[in-house]
Amino acid sequence: MKVRGLAKRYGDVRAVGGIDLDIRQGEVFAILGPNGAGKSTTVEILEGYRTRDAGEVSVLGTDPGRPTRAWRARLGIVLQTANDAAELTVRETVRHFATYYPDPRDPDEVIARVGLEEKAGSRIRQLSGGQRRRVDVALGIIGRPELIFLDEPTTGFDPEARRRFWELIDSLAHDGTTILLTTHYLDEAEALADRVAVIARGRIAAEGEPATLGGRAAAKATVAWAEDGVRRTVKTDEPTRTVAELSRRFDGEIPELTVTRPTLEDIYLDLVQGATHE
């Protein structure tokens, strides 16, 4: 996927103001950003559901502004909200959607992969919110897509279901499927994404691997410990040296020692707040 100078306005409001992206085949790429930052508009343009005002976009070698039926068959899309046929069972729904594609996955295999084996005969209206979300994911992958768009895919999932979904994404990526993910769960982005981009005010505020985004890997570490009944902290570029000095001071065991670096959430908040104050 290649994007250059992508722009979109709604009247006087600039939703997207010149975005460049390169997403490699088989990569899990996460787009992060606050509500109203432009990420949903960007993804909808890439999906072919919204027109752009400017820029060049190529998705699987095709301009999504001129989509074809064959091109759409190569995509899997899991929207943030979806309407479903409430009276159909899970199995009936997945089998029905399988008929839309030239080379679908086996419906029962897909149902198992999203963890709905025990609910395969249940009507959609009988499912919980998290279970309906899993149906959405099943419909997104039934066509054996080369590229999957996942918009807040684990909303409503319990922790066990989220972990199973992460395993599913890992397996799809291992098979060579390209995945574009939008999520508000930063731990999800860190667990799944090869690279992430933070969008703020319609522009890319930072892009890179989760571990190095925004200079994270080079940021000072915080060493904290307890001394004389007081919690003490120091920020340093040399945490190992600091811990060694403390170890000598305390004759080996340092009370309540912790060594931390900025989390992805810390970096994300700094990037978003910095863009807001520009």
Report how many domains make up the chain: 2
- 201 lies in the same domain as 237: no
Q: What is the pLDDT of residue 46?
A: 96
- 245 lies in the same domain as 173: no
Closest CA to 92 of 117, 129, 130, 124: 124
Q: What is the pLDDT of residue 265?
A: 87
Q: What is the pLDDT of residue 165?
A: 83
**What SS3 state is found at 153?**
coil
CATH of the domain at 82: 3.40.50.300
Q: What is the pLDDT of residue 35?
A: 85
Question: Of 170, 196, 214, which one is at a domain's C-terminal end?
Answer: 214
User: Could you tell me the residue range of the domain that residue 270 belongs to?
Assistant: 219-276
- 134 lies in the same domain as 210: yes
- 251 lies in the same domain as 176: no
CA distance 199 to 196: 10
Bridge partners of residue 259, in order along the sequence: 223
Question: Of 183, 199, 214, which one is at a domain's C-terminal end?
Answer: 214
pLDDT tens for the chain, 278 residues: list them.
999 999 999 999 999 999 999 999 999 999 999 888 888 899 999 999 999 999 999 999 999 999 999 999 999 998 766 566 788 999 999 999 999 998 999 999 999 988 899 999 999 999 887 788 888 889 999 999 999 999 888 877 778 878 888 888 888 888 889 999 998 889 899 999 999 999 998 999 999 999 888 888 778 899 999 999 899 999 998 899 999 999 999 988 999 999 988 888 888 888 888 665 55
**What is residue 229's DSSP assignment?**
T
Phi-psi category of residue 74: left, alpha or beta, with phi > 0 → left and psi -120 to 50 → alpha: alpha
- 258 lies in the same domain as 193: no
Q: What is the pLDDT of residue 11?
A: 92
- 68 lies in the same domain as 178: yes
- 165 lies in the same domain as 100: yes
- 192 lies in the same domain as 228: no
| Per-residue pLDDT tens over the stretch 57-107 | 999 999 999 999 999 999 999 876 656 678 899 999 999 999 999 899 999
- 91 lies in the same domain as 166: yes
Number of H helices, E strands in the chain: 9, 12
What are the structure tokens assigned to 41, written together? 């508009």
- 238 lies in the same domain as 130: no
Q: What is the pLDDT of residue 107?
A: 96
E strands within the chain?
2-10, 13-22, 28-32, 54-58, 75-78, 147-151, 178-182, 195-200, 203-208, 221-227, 230-236, 258-260
- 171 lies in the same domain as 189: yes
| Per-residue pLDDT tens over the stretch 28-47 | 999 999 888 888 899 999 99
pTM (predicted TM-score)? 0.82
- 271 lies in the same domain as 149: no
CB neighbours of 262 closer than 8 A, spacing ≥ 6? 216, 219
Distance of CA 122 to the CA centre of its chain: 29
Residue for token pair 């922790």:
159
CA distance 100 to 88: 17
